[in-house]
Chains A and B, each alone.
Chain A
Amino acid sequence: MYQDEELVFSCPQVVADRPTHYCPGCHHGVAHRLVGELLEEMGLVEKTIMVTAIGCSVFLYNYLLVDAVEAPHGRAPAVATGVKRAKPDKFVFTYQGDGDLASIGMAEIMHCANRGERVSVVFVNNTVYGMTGGQMAPTTLIGQKTTTCPGGRCAEREGMPIKMAEIIASLGGSAYVARTALNNVKNINKTKKCLRKAFEVQTSGLGFGFVEVLSACPTNWKMSAIKANERIANEMIPYFPLGVFKDATADVTGEAAGKGEEGK
């Protein structure tokens, strides 16, 4: 570094200095970095017990250098409940994909939120089962082709894509619920702000924090990373509106308490 310059962006120390196994343009890497930055900025690194899920992010523990336990597919919110009840003074979060959280783990996430467990959930919604090769997920959009709905998802046959943020916000125990996206710089910065809030409702003891992060899986969407980001803007966000769906820290009469503001 030169004398007349300052470092304005570098890799957080809690993020391991090693290449990831993710595909080019996969948003898991962005989500990992944001979580890592927040753990450092909020002084949580040494207090954290991370619960990893099954999906492409199963090796999260190779990239975030904190204590970790691996949960069975979909069960991370139950495992996190056990961790938090055993160690209430620790910072506990899960990091889950849409197959993991919204399909096999639907009961666990809903009841964890409803009990108001003091844990935070990072929910990466990329509308497919990435790890197993791009099968249909509960969040797959209508018309989207996957390896198990080759003709495109059809509402009559497969039902409508599930809107998790709205569901979680409707439950009594959730204290902060937002949906964000990682498709551009503005949305990435917004995602970080929302994740910070979801972490804060845990550290302040308010309740359960949840951020659904719309993310790209260029490989299984069979498109370039750049096209995948465009797809988030053009197809995902219109169906999965961005915004804050619940915020127990805000003045109840204030704007943040109601329906979230639309994002682009």
Chain B
Amino acid sequence: MSRIEIREDRCKGCLLCTTVCPKEIIKQADRFNQHGYKPAEVPAGDMKKCTGCASCATICPDVAITVYKTKKKAKKGASHG
């Protein structure tokens, strides 16, 4: 499963990430973070849709998003040399 981590204390709630997610899973939370911004979040259950494309992290001006991508399974019978 690919996934993202949003550092809530870094998020300024600009919502740019929400516009670039191809799966449209990033939403604005209702709560405020310590700086008074409503941070971005991925609602429970939606994370499994993440493709690990890193579009959200690329556009985030505050480097608040870390992206992990599921490793591709090694193909069987790959050539050796």
Contacts and interface: CB of A to CB of B under 8 A. Distances in A.
**Do the two chains touch directly in the complex (Cβ atoms below 8 Å apart)?**
yes
Interface of A: 1-2, 4-11, 15, 19-20, 22-30, 33, 184-185, 188-189, 218, 224-226, 229
A5 B9 contact: no
A22 B16 contact: no
Given A19-B35, A22-B61, A8 B14 contact: no
B4 to A, nearest CB: 8
22 contacts: A1-B68, A5-B1, A5-B69, A6-B71, A8-B52, A8-B54, A9-B54, A9-B58, A9-B65, A10-B66, A10-B67, A11-B66, A19-B9, A19-B35, A24-B12, A26-B61, A30-B60, A30-B61, A188-B58, A225-B14, A225-B15, A229-B16
Nearest to B66: A10
Contacts of B1: 5
B71 A29 contact: no
B16 A226 contact: yes
A24 B66 contact: no
A26 B60 CA distance: 10
Interface in B64-81: 65-71
Nearest to B59: A185
Nearest to B10: A19
A25 B16 contact: yes
B59 A29 contact: no
A185 B58 contact: yes
Contacts of A184: 20, 59
B66 A9 contact: yes
Contact of B63 (A8, A11, A185, A189): A11
A229 B67 CA distance: 23
Specify which of B2, B16, B71 lies most central, judged by the most chain A CB atoms within 10 Å of its CB.
B16
B61 A7 contact: no
Interface of B: 1-3, 9-10, 12-16, 19-20, 35, 37, 52, 54-55, 57-63, 65-71
A178 to B, nearest CB: 19
Given A4-B71, A5-B3, A5-B70, A19 B62 contact: yes
Contacts of A24: 12-14, 37, 61
A28 B61 contact: yes
B70 A25 contact: no
Closest 6 CB pairs of A and B: A29-B61, A25-B14, A24-B12, A9-B67, A225-B14, A24-B14
B61 A5 contact: no
Contacts of B35: 19
B73 to A, nearest CB: 9
B69 A25 contact: no
B62 to A, nearest CB: 5
Contacts of A5: 1-3, 68-71
